[in-house]
Amino acid sequence: MPKRSGSSARGGRVASNVRRTARRIDYSDIPESSPGQLKAMRRVGRPPLGDEPRRLIAIRVDPRVLESFRKEARRRRVGYQTLINEVLAEHIRTDVAYGAVSGGRLP
């Protein structure tokens, strides 16, 4: 049997919200943007760092390790993901033989 409560998502409040959002906005009086205005607009999202954009990955990290990176990142006033990237890049530069694979360059 369906729940009949005013506090549920299917209750009476939903119908009143629909009436408020059903209005149409009239955009006809807004002028079109010029090519100069469009060029001057800010790009949404993070700017690419380096020659190619960074890749989004998902890794599992011990909570203590993550908290340590976050604390150190706050101390240095950088993002913790930036700090993790720097630590990994430094490890590659100093401890991993990568020259044959990438031509000896890292960010």
Query: Looking at beta carbons, which pairs linking 33-40 to residues 24 or more positions away fall under 8 Å?
Result: none
Count Cα neighbours of 74 within 13 Å in the Cβ-side half-sphere.
5
Query: Looking at beta carbons, which pairs linking 82-89 to residues 24 or more positions away fall under 8 Å?
Result: 85/54
CA–CA distance, 77 with 74 (Å, rounded to integer): 5
Q: Which two tokens stand for residue 100?
A: 């044959």
Handedness of CA 70, 75, 79, 84 (dihedral sign): negative
CA–CA distance, 107 with 103 (Å, rounded to integer): 12
- The 10s digit of each residue's pLDDT in 55-82 is 889 999 999 999 999 999 999 999 999 9
Confidence of residue 40 (pLDDT cuts 50, 70, 90): confident
Instruction: Calculate what percentage of the chain has a pLDDT beyond 90.
Output: 33
In the predicted model, is pLDDT for residue 100 greater than 50? Answer: no
